[in-house]
Amino acid sequence: MTGKGIGPIAAALGRRGRMTAVEEFLDADRRALAERVAEIFRWIFLVVLLILNNFGGVRFAGAQLFVNAILLAWAAANLVITILLSRGLKPGPQFGLVTMVGDILAGAALVYFSNGLTSPYILALFLAIIASAVRFGLYFSVLCAVAVSFIYLFVGGTAPSLQDFTVHPQVGLEALGRVFLFLVVALVTGLIGEELIRERRLAISRAAQAEALQQMSSALAYSLDVNDLFEVVLQQAVRITRAESGALILNTGGRLQLAAYHGRGGRSDKAAMAKGDALIERVMETGEAIHIKGDNHPYHELLGIQPPLSVIVAPIPVQGRVAAVIRLSHYSQSDAFSDQQFFLVNALAGSASGPLANSLRYERKTREAITDGLTGLLNHREFRHRLDLEFSRYRRRGTPFSVMLIDLDHFKSVNDSMGHHHGDEILKSAGDLVRRTTRDNDLTARYGGDEIVVLLPDTDQDQARSAAERMVAAVRRNQIPATPARDLTFSIGVGTCPGDASSADEVLMAADQALYFAKRSGRDCSASASQLTRSFLDDPKSLLNEIAESGPQMVVAIARAMDKLDPAGDGHSSRISFFAEALVKKLGRPEGEAELVRSAALLHESGRALFAGGAHLDRNWQTDHPMMDEDVVRRGRFLPELVEILRHHHENWDGGGSPDGLRGHDIPLLARILGVAEAFEAMTRDGATLLEAVDRLTEGSGGAYDPQVVEAMAALVGEGERLAAILRTPPLRVQRALEPAAKS
C-alpha cells in the first residue's frame, strides 16, 4: 500500500510492523520537539540570567565575571544548536544526551560560582529536567532529576558548607525542598509528556490505519481478480493485528474454501484452516464477529484441543449473506488483539465487501462465459481455446497430449422415452462422473448434444487408452439408470498428438473417428485412433472397404494408414493439409472450403498408397496419380467437390498439366491451392529453405502455379509465426530463414 500520496506512517506500514513504525516516527518527532523546546527555553534563561547578573542588583563577590563567561559560552553553544536545527538536523538520542549534559554542567557551574544552595541560577537545572522529560519520557526525567539533585547538593555545599545544615537548618530544609521540587517537576512533566505521546501515538496510528484502509479500498475498487483481493485483504488484516496466523475462508454455496493463508503454523495449520472450525461456522451462521481473549469466553469449547489464546473472526458480508470470513489467531499471547484492532478488522472486512461483490460477480460472469449452463463443464468454445494452447505447448516442449471423446450411448432414445428433463439429468450425472474420474489437471468440456470431451495433458497413447478403459468401467460401476431397462454406458474414442495427429484439429478428428469405430463395434467400449490405424495396416484391403463404408468419417485414420503404407509418407499429408488450409484462410475463403481442402490434402496420395502399395512407381506416376486418387475417393461418400480437387490438383496454370490440360481459372481454386501446397511441402522436405522454396514457386508462377496463390504463400512465409506453427518450427528459426531477404 505504499506509493505516492501516502503519508510517512502509512508508507512505513508497508515496510515494517505497524507498532515499530509508529514508535520510530514518534521517537524521532519527540527528540526534534524536545531540542526545539530546549533551545527556546535556553535563550529565555540566558537573557534572564544575564540581566540578573549584570543589571538586576544581584552581586556575588568575585563571581560576576565567571558567571558572564559561563553564560556567554552557553549562548555560543545554543547558537550552534539553533543553526543546526534551522538547517533541518534530525537529532538522534546521542545529540539529546550531549545537550542535556551540557545544560546540567552549565547550571551546576552557575550554582557553584553564585550563592550555592540558595543560588537563583538553580533555574538552569530545571531546564535540563524539563527537556529530558520531553526528550526521553517519564523514567529518564526522574533519573535526570535524581542526578541533578546530587549535583546540586554537591556543588551547592561549598557556600555554605555541608556542616552548616546543622547550624542553619532553614538552609537545609530549603535545599531539600528544591530537591523535592526537582522530582516533582520531573514527574509532572514526564507524565504530561507520556500522556501527550500516548494520545498522539493513538491518533497517528488511527490516522495511518484509516489511510491504509482508504488506500486499500481504492486499490480494491478496481481489482476484479478474486485471488488478488483475498491476498491484499488478509495481508492488511495480519499487518494491522500482527497475528501469528490468519486465513480468509470463502463460503461457496455452503462449502468452505481456503482462499488465502498467512502463518507460521506450517502445512498442518493450513490444512486445519482449510477445513474450517466451529467458530467460523458460527460467524457464517450469525454474521456477527467474534473477539476472544484468553480462555474466559463462551467459545472455549469450539477452539479444539490446542486453541489459540487470542482470536478474531470477522465476516465479510455480500448482499445480505456472509460470503467470506477473516480468521486471525495468536497462540502465545492472550490479549494480543486490542478492542481497537478488533474494530479495525471489522472495518477492513466491511470495506472489502463491495470489491468482493464486484470480483465475485465478474468471476461468475467469466465462468458463465466459458462453461456449459447445464453440466457446469467447459463449453465447446473454451475447450477449443484450451486445446490450441495445449498444442502450442506441445510444439514448444514436445510433451504429448490426448483427447478423449465420450458419447452417451443411445441418448436419443433416453430423450424420446423418458423426456428431455430426464435426459438433462442424465447429462449432468454423466458430466459429474467424468469430472470425478479424471485428474485435477485434465480439462472436461461438453462438446456437443450428448458428447463430452476430455483434454489429457502430458498423456501418451497407452496412458490415454488406460484412462478411457477406466472411464468405461467407472460408468458401468456407478449404474446410472438411463431408462428403466438400461443403465448409462459410454462409447469413447481417443486421439493422441503426435502419435495419431499432427495438429489440434487432427487430434480431434482422430478421436472422433475412433469414437465412430467404438460405436460401430457395439458401444459400451473404448477405441483409439492408433488401434484403428493398426487394423488398416494389418489388412490393407480393409482400408478400401472402410473408404467405401465410412468415407468422410474416417479421413484422418485413413490418411494415417496411407502414410504408413507409403515410404515417402512420414506425415507429409498432414503438413500439406496445414499449408493448404493456411492458404485458404490467407485468401479469405469460407471455412467450409478450408475443411474441404484439408480432407483433400489428407487423401491426395491414397491411390499411390493403396494401388501401388508404396513400391517403386514408373514415370507415368505423376500423370496417373490424380486419377488413381479420384478412383479411391469415388468409392466413398465424399462430396463431388473433393473428388474434383483431387482430379485436378496437378493441372498447370498455363495448361501444361494433367490429366485434362485445364488452364487458368478453369482449374478449381482449391485444386490450384492444393497444388501449390504440395509443391511447397516437397521442396522444404527435400532440404530447401523457406526462401528458396518461395523463389522456386515464384519462378513457376504463371506457368505451373496460380500467381495469386504463390503470392499468398510468400505472404505466409513473411508472417513467419503462422508458418512456424505449420512446420512445427520455432518462430526464431523462421525469422532467421527470412533474414537474408530482409538484408537484400
CATH number for the domain spanning 337: value is: 3.30.450.40
Band the pLDDT of 1: cuts 50, 70, 90: very low
Residue 544 lies in a domain: no
Residue 556 lies in a domain: no
pLDDT for the residue 740: 40
Residues 522 and 502 in one domain: yes
Residues 351 and 444 in one domain: no
The verdict on whether 450 is a catalytic residue reads yes
pLDDT digits (tens, 9 = 90+) for 159-211: 445 555 565 566 566 667 777 888 888 888 878 877 777 776 666 666 656 66
Band the pLDDT of 541: cuts 50, 70, 90: low
Rounded to an integer, the average pLDDT of 239-266 is 76
Reduced to 3 DSSP states, what percent helix, strand and coil does the chain have, rounded to the nearest 5? Answer: 65, 10, 25
Residues 278 and 296 in one domain: yes
pLDDT for the residue 562: 65
pLDDT at 263 over 90: no
Residues 428 and 520 in one domain: yes
Band the pLDDT of 542: cuts 50, 70, 90: low
Comparing 34-38, 294-298, 446-450, which segment has the lowest mean pLDDT?
294-298
Comparing 7-11, 273-277, 695-699, which segment has the lowest mean pLDDT?
7-11
Q: Which residue has the higher pLDDT, 16 or 663?
A: 663
Q: Which residues pair with 494 in a beta bridge?
A: 404, 528
Residue 75 lies in a domain: yes
Select from 336, 369, 402 the last residue of a domain: 369
Number of helices (H), then strands (E), in the chain: 30, 12
pLDDT for the residue 217: 61
pLDDT at 638 over 50: yes
Residues 26 and 174 in one domain: yes
Residues 38 and 179 in one domain: yes
Select from 182, 199, 216 the last residue of a domain: 199
Averaged confidence pLDDT in the chain: 76
Band the pLDDT of 214: cuts 50, 70, 90: low
Percent of the chain with pLDDT over 70: 72
pLDDT for the residue 268: 42
Estimate to the nearest angstrom the gap between the alpha carbon of 324 and the chain centroid. 20
Residues 652 and 522 in one domain: no
Q: Say if residue 694 is exposed, middle or buried (CB neighbours under 10 Å; 0-12, 13-18, 19+).
A: buried
Residues 394 and 361 in one domain: no
CATH number for the domain spanning 580: value is: 1.10.3210.10
Q: Residue 659, preceding bond cis, omega within 30 degrees?
A: yes
* Among 211-215, 242-246, 346-350, the range of highest mean pLDDT: 242-246
Residue 555 lies in a domain: no
Estimate to the nearest angstrom the gap between the alpha carbon of 191 and the chain centroid. 51
Residue 689 lies in a domain: yes
* 485/493 Cα distance (integer angstroms): 25
pLDDT for the residue 452: 93
- The C-alpha angle 561, 565, 569, rounded to 5 degrees, equals 90
pLDDT for the residue 253: 65
The per-residue DSSP string of 372-387 comes to -TTT-SB-HHHHHHHH
pTM for the whole structure: 0.54
Total domains in the fold of the chain? 4
Q: Say if residue 609 is exposed, middle or buried (CB neighbours under 10 Å; 0-12, 13-18, 19+).
A: buried
Handedness of CA 367, 368, 374, 379 (dihedral sign): negative
Active-site annotation holder among 372, 407, 442, 450: 450
pLDDT for the residue 626: 73
Residues 363 and 452 in one domain: no
Q: Residue 93, preceding bond cis, omega within 30 degrees?
A: no
CATH number for the domain spanning 408: value is: 3.30.70.270
Give the three cell numbers for residue 30: 519527540
Q: CB 588: neighbour CB atoms within 10 A?
A: 7
Residue 5 lies in a domain: no
pLDDT for the residue 210: 64
pLDDT for the residue 741: 39
Q: Which residues pair with 260 in a beta bridge?
A: 248
Q: Say if residue 702 is exposed, middle or buried (CB neighbours under 10 Å; 0-12, 13-18, 19+).
A: middle
**Residue 98 is part of which domain span?**
14-199
Residue 386 lies in a domain: yes
Give the three cell numbers for residue 460: 501418451
Q: Which residue has the higher pLDDT, 164 or 534?
A: 534
Q: Is 509 left (phi over 0), alpha (psi -120 to 50) or beta?
A: alpha
pLDDT for the residue 460: 92
pLDDT digits (tens, 9 = 90+) for 712-726: 998 888 776 455 555
Residues 24 and 107 in one domain: yes
- The C-alpha angle 509, 515, 520, rounded to 5 degrees, equals 130
Residue 447 lies in a domain: yes
Collect all residues with Cβ–Cβ distance below 8 Å to 542 and sequence separation of at least 6.
535, 536
pLDDT digits (tens, 9 = 90+) for 695-714: 899 898 889 999 999 999 98
Residues 117 and 153 in one domain: yes
Rounded to an integer, the average pLDDT of 312-317 is 86
pLDDT for the residue 434: 93
pLDDT digits (tens, 9 = 90+) for 576-621: 888 888 899 888 888 888 888 888 887 776 666 555 554 444 445 4
* 677/680 Cα distance (integer angstroms): 5
pLDDT for the residue 254: 64
pLDDT digits (tens, 9 = 90+) for 620-631: 545 566 777 776
pLDDT at 730 over 50: no
Q: Which residue has the higher pLDDT, 543 or 79?
A: 79
pLDDT at 405 over 90: yes
Residues 24 and 148 in one domain: yes
Q: Say if residue 640 is exposed, middle or buried (CB neighbours under 10 Å; 0-12, 13-18, 19+).
A: exposed
Comparing 319-333, 688-702, 722-736, which segment has the lowest mean pLDDT?
722-736
Percent of the chain with pLDDT over 90: 13
pLDDT at 15 over 50: no
Band the pLDDT of 269: cuts 50, 70, 90: very low
Q: Is 570 left (phi over 0), alpha (psi -120 to 50) or beta?
A: left
Block residue for cell numbers 553553544: 77
Band the pLDDT of 493: cuts 50, 70, 90: very high
Q: How many residues can be counted in the chain? A: 744
* 53/58 Cα distance (integer angstroms): 6
Select from 348, 369, 390 the last residue of a domain: 369
pLDDT at 333 over 90: no
pLDDT for the residue 636: 66
pLDDT at 475 over 50: yes
pLDDT at 238 over 60: yes
pLDDT at 441 over 80: yes
Band the pLDDT of 117: cuts 50, 70, 90: low
pLDDT digits (tens, 9 = 90+) for 361-397: 777 777 778 888 888 899 999 999 999 999 989 988 8
Band the pLDDT of 444: cuts 50, 70, 90: very high
